[in-house]
Amino acid sequence: MQAEDLQPDQTLVIAAQVCEALQFAHDEHVVHRDIKPENILVDSRGRVKIADFGLAKLTARSRDDFTLTGTHQIMGTPRYMSPEQMDGSQLVDHRADIYSLGVVLYEMLTGQVPAGHFEPPSQLARVDSRLDQIVLRALAREPQRRYQRVSDLKADVVTVAGSSVMHSLQQVASGVAQAASEHNMTEHDYEMFRLDARGPAGGLILVGALGGGFWFVMGLFLGMDTNHWSDGELAGIFGGCTAGVLAGCFLVFGGINLRNLRAYELCSAASILMCLPWSPAALLGIPIGIWCLRTMHRADIKAAFVRESLRRRGFGHVPVPLPTPHQSGRGEQRPHDSAQFMSSTDERPQHLPGPSTLIDRGVEAVGRLFGGK
């Protein structure tokens, strides 16, 4: 909550919601005792929440019940603590939260924490001078001179801001929710990522089918002449061919899962197997395996795997944040951007240097082959 990041009307909207939350706690005889910017959270819908009640206490209980904290033990964050908290008194009540809220409000308006002799907010920032009386009353050293209820502080804040504050609460909430939804993965984004994965997935299926078919044919061909081989040699031949066929099936299974954005670990293992010389198809499998690994390393593809995993477990309504262009490794614009997708001047992203120029060119050629570019 830095002053340069908050406009005065935004500050009042946040302050009004903090007052509501604190009043609810006080009505339940709970004193927070550690109100500070770090404990004031704003969710994706623009709603303000108060966190960290680790130092809270119940004011409805008698003084003798509070034996955990010593008589002169200071609890809280010094810059935001009320004078009675700094003195270590056990007579701290809900008005200590009002003082701390006054410190937070002062900081949101001016960017500074009040200490010692401080100027009114209107002297340090372009804010309504009527806020000076509100802040100074909340920061009164004697508890009896402060607001006695947080709801009274909220009423004065709303009066200063005008009747538009309550309307602003709804506008801010809807605006934050809309901004958050714009950064979450949509169904269109998900389908675009599936299209990105189809190329390497097709490569996995192709190499797996070719390699598995090769070892199957080799097993039949070598096994036809049983008189030429000893029992031990036949066992070795059939064992090796069976392993090759199973490896091919594993690659096909991995390609199907990659096409559907499922089983990230299995797809990674299949991509690594592609790069190993397990069959003559490895000549084609090495560049495709590198292509698969690089595609799966993208942050947006990983996010698509997460969305599919949540959907399969019945949590499809949970929003999945969309990685930034830098995180996705796709340049300034993501491939799911509709403007970029429909543009005829689409530029190919800059790819990271591979182990050799020859392999990189092979990856690009295979990408064009299976991606239809």
Least confident of 52-56, 78-82, 126-130, 345-349: 345-349
pLDDT in tens, 165-215: 555 555 555 555 555 555 677 888 888 888 999 999 999 999 999 998 998
pLDDT bin (cut points 50, 70, 90) of residue 160 is confident
- Note every long-range contact of 354-360, with CB atoms under 8 Å and residues 24 or more positions apart, other chains counting: 354/290, 359/286, 359/287, 359/290
Rounded CA separation 368/199 (Å): 9
Contact 39, 52 (CB under 8 A): yes
As a whole number, the mean pLDDT across the chain is 77
User: Which CA distances in Å does 299 have to 291, 320, 322, 328, 334?
Assistant: 15, 12, 9, 5, 11
Please state, for a pLDDT cut of 90, what percent of the chain lies above it: 24
Whether 115 shows a pLDDT value over 70: the answer reads: yes
pLDDT score for 219: 84
pLDDT score for 274: 87
Task: State the DSSP string of 224-270.
Answer: H-GGGS-HHHHHHHHHHHHHHHHHHHHHHHHHHHHHTT--HHHHHHH
282-297 helix and 264-274 helix, angle to the nearest 10 degrees: 150
Residues constituting the chain: 373
pLDDT score for 337: 45
Q: Which of 127, 63, 138 is nearest to 99 (CA)?
A: 138
pLDDT bin (cut points 50, 70, 90) of residue 332 is very low
Least confident of 83-92, 167-176, 363-372: 167-176
pLDDT score for 364: 63
Rounded CA separation 356/348 (Å): 20
Rounded CA separation 124/306 (Å): 47
Whether 87 shows a pLDDT value over 60: the answer reads: yes
Rounded CA separation 87/82 (Å): 9
Higher pLDDT, 231 or 342: 231
Q: Which of 266, 301, 264, 293 is nearest to 355 (CA)?
A: 293
pLDDT score for 143: 92
Least confident of 93-97, 146-150, 157-161, 166-170: 166-170
pLDDT score for 319: 75
pLDDT score for 5: 60
Q: Which of 297, 278, 270 is nearest to 354 (CA)?
A: 297
Least confident of 102-106, 200-204, 221-225: 221-225
Rounded CA separation 260/146 (Å): 61
For the full predicted model, state whether its pTM sits above 0.75: no
Least confident of 78-87, 165-174, 252-261, 299-308: 165-174
Cα 37 versus chain centre, distance: 21
Stretch 289-312: mean pLDDT: 87
Whether 80 shows a pLDDT value over 80: the answer reads: yes
Q: Sketch out the chain's domains with CATH numbers.
A: 3-182 (1.10.510.10), 187-371 (no CATH)
Tokens found for residue 32: 């927070």
Whether 97 shows a pLDDT value over 80: the answer reads: yes
pLDDT score for 201: 92
Whether 4 shows a pLDDT value over 80: the answer reads: no
pLDDT score for 19: 92
Whether 302 shows a pLDDT value over 80: the answer reads: yes
pLDDT in tens, 6-58: 677 788 888 888 999 899 989 988 888 889 988 888 776 667 888 877 555 55
Rounded CA separation 214/309 (Å): 34
Whether 283 shows a pLDDT value over 70: the answer reads: yes
Stretch 53-77: mean pLDDT: 53
Residue 58 backbone dihedrals phi, psi, to 5 degrees: -90, 120
